[in-house]
Structure 1
Amino acid sequence: MELPQDSYREFSQEYAKGGIRAVIFVNGGAAVATLSQLTALSNLFPKSAIGIALISFIIGILFGVLTWVAGFISNRHVDRKLRNQEKTYLSADIWMYIGIFLSLLSISAFAFGCLRLAVAFMIDNPAC
């Protein structure tokens, strides 16, 4: 059974919104958790490692927000194509791929922040 074009578009938009929320929430949660546990973390990790991780989480939030912007622009180009103001979906596709790339950067920023803390912990606690 094939879905109507509008239903497919709605499903795609819901998945995109969920992914954008996820990368923003994961990085935002990590940043809040880091800040709320700063005193305890400073006993386990060098301050530079905490700072680098926190900056990484903040950059991840920024990439998440930019993913939303790219998604919005992509959606506008889809609307323009559907109103015959553009000949193809090429512009929409370009912005979609930019959004995917930005979301991957956001996930990477989160992973880098976590790995930075893990490596710092392992270096300072070699018995682990």
Structure 2
Amino acid sequence: MADYREISQEYAKSAIGAAMLINTGASVAVLSQVAELYKLDLLSSVVWSVMAWTVGVVLAALAWPTAFLSSRFVDKSERDQGMERAYLEVSNRWMAVGLILVFASILCFARGAAYMVAQSSFISEHPPIPAASP
């Protein structure tokens, strides 16, 4: 029989890892192009996207300790007789906080991507004027 707690922990770990991965991946992809963006005077067009992805990374990182605390209180509920319900309520609160953090992290990724797309559309319609050579 499957252990519900183990399955839940694996799903939580995967969700946190995915939120971390999409935000760090997007940041690394853009930051790897900084030299080229600088040459084209387009650095300012990516600042808000990178900031959104950075916040997404922080939110995903904060979800890890909330997942730990949720698991910890489930364990305590099984060990301390008479406190089961109270510990499970605390565990559920930490789980809710963790879910909010993961969803907020994913929203940060989406916001950063949307801003990048909006900036790309604007730039393609209004290309930067190259600097005159002396």
Q: TM-score, normalised by structure 2?
A: 0.83
The amino acid that maps onto 2:76 is R
Select which of 62, 68, 72 maps to 2:68.
72
Instruction: Say yes or no: does 1:56 pair with 2:52.
Output: yes
The equivalent of 1:87 in structure 2 is 84
Once the two structures are TM-superposed, the CA of residue 116 in structure 1 deviates from its matched residue by 0.7
Q: State which structure, 1 or 2, has the greater radius of gyration over its C-alpha atoms.
A: 2
Question: Deviations 1:51-85 (Å, cap 9, x if unpaired)?
Answer: 11111111111000111111011111111111126
The equivalent of 2:132 in structure 1 is none
Once the two structures are TM-superposed, the CA of residue 47 in structure 1 deviates from its matched residue by 2.4
Partner SS for 1:113: helix
Change (3 A) 1:76 1:100: same
Once the two structures are TM-superposed, the CA of residue 124 in structure 1 deviates from its matched residue by 2.2
Range 110-119 or range 31-40, more displaced:
31-40
Change (3 A) 1:106 1:113: same
Structure 2, unaligned runs of 5 or more = 127-134
Q: TM-score, normalised by structure 1?
A: 0.86
Question: Deviations 1:13-69 (Å, cap 9, x if unpaired)?
Answer: 111101111111111111111111123345778422311111111111100011111
The equivalent of 2:4 in structure 1 is 8
For the 8 Å contact 2:70–2:95, the answer to whether it is kept is yes
Give the count of matched residue pairs.
Answer: 123
Structure 1, unaligned runs of 5 or more = none
The equivalent of 1:28 in structure 2 is 24
